[in-house]
Amino acid sequence: MSTLPPPDMLCFALYSTAHRMQQTYKPLLAPLDLTYPQYLLLSALWAEDARTVGALGRELQLASNTLTPLIKRLETRGLLRRTRDTGDDRQVRITLTDDGRALQSDAAHIPDCIVRETGMDMADLTRLRDEILALRDRLDPA
């Protein structure tokens, strides 16, 4: 019987390309001493600060068991703060510190660098992104 080898599988294309993309980010993030997931979390906060763990989790598609340690590492580094200043005491609100906000300008060049590394133009990248997202949204979130 013939089994499709990994190089022919769509899932493997996603898997290996996502990893390769993280490798591409690595030298750009190293000077900021950030991992890729940490950069994603900060990007979410740079776009909209002071959100709850749950709201960030919905945007990044991560649950608290991944998010909580991630957040705590950045808190330890003094890039953000955790508070319970909402009406609902179950919720934890994440707010950037001055240092956390300052990092945004240090990272401002990164998106352009990534685009350049792909060697593709914006229109193609946007189209590919939307096709990948369309696939994701067809797959059950459950």
Q: Between 123 and 138, whose beta carbon lies closer to DNA?
A: 138
The binder of DNA chosen from 24, 43, 59, 91 (CB under 7 A): 91
The least distance separating its own copies from the CB of residue 87, rounded to whole angstroms, comes to 26
Per CB under 7 A, the segment of 52-60, 98-106, 114-122, 125-133 that binds DNA is 52-60
| Triad 29, 33, 39: Cα angle to 5° | 55
Query: Do 46 and 57 touch, CB atoms closer than 8 A?
Result: no
87 binds DNA (CB under 7 A): yes
Q: Between 87 and 141, whose beta carbon lies closer to its own copies?
A: 141
52 binds DNA (CB under 7 A): yes
Query: Do 127 and 41 touch, CB atoms closer than 8 A?
Result: no
Distance separating alpha carbons of residues 51 and 94, to the nearest angstrom = 5
Map residue 93 onto helix, strand or coil.
strand
Q: Between 22 and 104, whose beta carbon lies closer to DNA?
A: 22
